[in-house]
């Protein structure tokens, strides 16, 4: 991912997390996970030492974040099972773990499995011909 795209994505995620926790608490959570210290959120996004992992691990004790993650993983697992792609059983195993914060660690460690499913779903569901339909319907736009 190029630097601009990474920065844009981090800004979006940090803005959402800031709405949930407030800036002071979020900064504390990030620093506890190894993000750069003594900076505000605007400065921290500019710091090249900030990683997505810092934000992900900072949110591992957030009930809201974990609930969203569980819902998304369950949906992904169901789709993967129906379409017979990836390792949906592994995701089901992660979801059956009683330790909610451990779900983050499972996802971080097994992200390659999630990525394979996402790529396959993208290839099967997001047909490259969709924009043509719009052009054929209204070629002026």
Domain boundaries, the chain: 3-61, 63-125
Q: Report the percent of the chain where pLDDT is more than 90.
A: 23
pLDDT of residue 54: 83
Would you give the DSSP letter of residue 88? H
In angstroms, the CA 134 to CA 139 distance is 8
pLDDT tens digits along 25-39: 888 888 888 888 888
Query: What H or E segment, with its residue span, contains residue 5?
Result: helix 3-21
125 pLDDT above the threshold of 90: no
Q: What is the pLDDT of residues 82-119, one digit of tens each?
A: 999 999 999 999 999 988 888 988 988 898 999 999 99
Separation of alpha carbons 65 and 77, rounded Å: 18
Query: Residue 9 and residue 90: Cα distance in Å, rounded?
Result: 27
CA-CA-CA-CA dihedral for 37, 38, 41, 45, to nearest 10: -50
């Amino acid at each position: 991912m190029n630097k601009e795209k990474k920065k844009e994505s981090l800004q979006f995620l940090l803005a959402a997390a800031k709405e949930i926790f407030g800036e002071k608490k979020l900064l504390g959570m990030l620093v506890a996970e190894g993000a750069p210290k003594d900076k505000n959120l605007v400065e921290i996004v500019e710091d090249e030492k900030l990683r997505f992992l810092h934000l992900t691990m900072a949110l591992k004790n957030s009930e809201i974040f974990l609930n969203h993650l569980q819902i998304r993983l369950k949906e992904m697992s169901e789709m993967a099972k129906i379409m017979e792609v990836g390792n949906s059983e592994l995701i089901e195993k992660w979801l059956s773990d009683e330790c909610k914060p451990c779900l983050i660690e499972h996802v971080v460690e097994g992200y390659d499995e999630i990525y394979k499913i996402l790529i396959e779903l993208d290839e099967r569901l997001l047909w490259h011909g969709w924009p043509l339909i719009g052009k054929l319907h209204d070629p002026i736009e």
